[in-house]
Amino acid sequence: MGADIVEKTNRYERLLSEALDAAEIAPAADTPMGEAAADCEEMARSYLEDGRHFRENDDLVNALASFSYGHAWLDAGARIGLFDVPRDGHLFTV
């Protein structure tokens, strides 16, 4: 596995952490879309925590997968309008 997976795991953790900081729930909280956005944000935060746990236990493959899945929840949510996100930069594909 080597240094490549270490660098990639660290990069994806930073990406997910920064994306969570940047994403703001767009719909009103008391609507079905607002509830869906909150669920997506919770999933992303859970994957961030899981990834950190895996990394602490030297399981870099699952750490990287967790950070990637967490970011996917946010990115998909942004694409369908659940989150207001920056349109420039590297955090989102919208």
Every domain of the chain and the residues it spans:
2-84
C-alpha distances (whole Å) from 45 to each of 1, 32, 42, 63, 89 are: 26, 20, 5, 13, 21
DSSP letter at 89?
A: S
1-59 pLDDT tens trace = 567 999 999 999 999 999 999 999 999 999 999 999 999 999 999 999 999 999 999 99
What pLDDT, on a 0 to 100 scale, did the predictor assign at position 1?
Answer: 54
Using a cut of 0.85, tell me whether the model's pTM lies above it: yes
What pLDDT, on a 0 to 100 scale, did the predictor assign at position 57?
Answer: 98
In the block, tokens 């994306």 appear at 19
CATH superfamily ID and name for 2-84: AF1782-like (1.20.1270.90)
DSSP letter at 57?
A: T
What pLDDT, on a 0 to 100 scale, did the predictor assign at position 2?
Answer: 66
What mean pLDDT do residues 68-89 have? 96
What mean pLDDT do residues 58-68 have? 98
12 φ/ψ angles, rounded to the nearest 5 degrees: -70, -30
